[in-house]
Structure 1
Amino acid sequence: MYDIEKLKNYLNIKRPIPASVLEKIYDNIKIEYTYNSNAIEGNSLTLKETEVVLEYGITVKGKPLKDHMEAKNQAYALDFLKEEVKLRKEIDKKLIKEFHQIIIGDIDREIAGKFRTYPVIIKASETKTSSPLHIEEELDKLIKWYNSEQNLNTVEKIAIFHSKFEKIHPFGDGNGRTGRLLMNFELMKEGYPITIIKNEDRLEYYNSLEKAQTKEDYKDIIKFIYSNVEKSIIKNLEMLEENWKEKYNNELKKRKIHRKGSNKRRL
């Protein structure tokens, strides 16, 4: 496992990245993010089908219209997220509702951007979601904690926020997709790239969330988010340069030598 702060810093020294390269990287990541975030929630489109829908607007024969709409909505939500990151806003209920509005949008206008007014359960889970009467109160409390917490590092804080948000389950549908957008909103504000949680890892994802939500044991979800942040930084580095590992290790050696030299001068 790498030190993700060092990895992130190494990725950031590659900036500014030429606009054409940046656009290609973003388009690649948007397709992969859209596929995985939707697949976790049961969307039937494959990665290739998601690419066709997003790039060419083609309807895939035999696949539900809802699945196509989810792909387009998720991609648009990621575009919206990218622009919102530039404004460096703090998370609030308005932003949460805006993300949800885009995700659900024309799929179910009755619930889009609106907190639920009825109880829900999470299938095959012991997690107890918030009563509809307490959703806003519990969101207010969570947001206040998040925006004032200073003892945890960025990834730890985001992982805990994510598990608590999913436990509140403020919407009738689209909570997972909204929660992962919020997670990326905060990560990207701190200089991390878009982080993708893959569909193939959803059992580990769900299990670590449930452990956090039912036992207030956040070790697994923190470890899981750390791992996915690391994988996403590495993916960006692989798309930016060949032999990135060798160059990264050389950069670390240079910094180590420089620090030693600085210490000697002080002595």
Structure 2
Amino acid sequence: LFENWQGFLNESYEQMPDQLAQFIVNSNAIEGYDVDLDNALFVITSQGAEEGSYEHYQLKLANSPYIRSHLDGLAESKEFSGGVPNVKQIKNVHKAMGADVLDDALPGYLRSGGLLGGDVEAKGGPTYVSGPDVAEALIWWTGREWQDPFKAHTAYELIHPFGDGNGRSGRIILAAMTNYDLRSVNSFIENKSSYLTELERIGKEFQGKFWKENNNLQ
């Protein structure tokens, strides 16, 4: 898997594993999941290697589903690297993350209901507002020519297309849309408080007006 990333990451060969491991740690930390950086790096750099019994045991311990889910989601995202995914590709990324890290939600299946309302952080769970349903909103999202992947990520969060795993799948999609410029993505997400504040700031620009721009969602 690690070798497969050489053509997709905008970093030198030596920097790739560090940035990838840090991305996995940062993305999980936002959701409250503690992933050890050394374990993430170990899993990434040990893929395909021949290990002795002790090293194999280490890999088994380190291969947290929260590490694996990001690697699997990122691998799936290569289908649209540098561009905007379609609805099927979004579902495939979410599905690739696996049921082990998505609570009871069905991986790859859109939730029903309206759009996300209130604070982006959604204290006590997300609340939804009436209006276009998730499927309509996601079709709109995928049909837009996003000039700024980070604004696209915020809109994805507002749509909240799945019952669980929206933030993690959204950050995987963000990484792919930047053509795996993980240094920039890590800078955006490394501080949870700043990240959520920025999502809320950008989100306020969208709410009440961005659904009506170049689309029929009212």
- TM-score interval, normalised by the smaller of the two chains: 0.5 to 0.7
Q: Which residue of 2 aligns with 1:197?
A: 186
Q: Which residue of 2 aligns with 1:94?
A: 88
Kept in 2, the 8 Å contact 1:130–1:168? The answer is no
For the aligned residue pairs, the C-alpha RMSD in angstroms reads 3.5
The worse-fitting range, judged by mean Cα deviation, of 177-186 and 72-81 is: 72-81
Q: What is the Cα deviation at residue 93 of structure 1?
A: 0.4
Q: Which residue of 2 aligns with 1:167?
A: 158
The worse-fitting range, judged by mean Cα deviation, of 75-84 and 40-49 is: 75-84
Q: Which residue of 2 aligns with 1:35?
A: 25
Call closer, same or farther: CA 1:116–1:35 in 2, change over 3 Å.
same
Q: Does 1:57 align with 2:75?
A: no
Residues 96-123 of structure 1 deviation map (CA, whole Å, 9 limit, x = unaligned): 1111112234444751011113678853
Q: What is the Cα deviation at residue 52 of structure 1?
A: 3.9
Structure 2 letter corresponding to 1:135: V
- Partner SS state of residue 197, structure 2: helix
Q: What is the Cα deviation at residue 181 of structure 1?
A: 1.6
Match of 1:73 among 69, 76, 93: 69
Kept in 1, the 8 Å contact 2:26–2:186? The answer is yes
Call closer, same or farther: CA 1:207–1:129 in 2, change over 3 Å.
farther
Q: What is the Cα deviation at residue 137 of structure 1?
A: 0.5
Q: Which residue of 2 aligns with 1:211?
A: 201
Call closer, same or farther: CA 1:40–1:132 in 2, change over 3 Å.
farther
Take 2:128 and 2:59, find their aligned partners in 1: how far apart are those partners? 37
Q: What is the Cα deviation at residue 203 of structure 1?
A: 0.4
Kept in 1, the 8 Å contact 2:137–2:159? The answer is yes
Residues 204-237 of structure 1 deviation map (CA, whole Å, 9 limit, x = unaligned): 11011112224538xxxxxxxxxxxxxxxxxxxx
- Segments of structure 2 that go 5 or more residues without pairing to the other structure are 1-5, 47-57, 208-218
Equivalenced residues, count: 180
Q: Which residue of 2 aligns with 1:103?
A: 97
Kept in 2, the 8 Å contact 1:116–1:171? The answer is yes
Kept in 2, the 8 Å contact 1:78–1:181? The answer is yes
Kept in 2, the 8 Å contact 1:81–1:181? The answer is yes
Residues 36-66 of structure 1 deviation map (CA, whole Å, 9 limit, x = unaligned): 1111111122212333455452326xxxxxx
Q: What is the Cα deviation at residue 68 of structure 1?
A: 1.5
More helix by share: 1
- Segments of structure 1 that go 5 or more residues without pairing to the other structure are 1-15, 61-66, 218-267
The worse-fitting range, judged by mean Cα deviation, of 97-106 and 45-54 is: 45-54
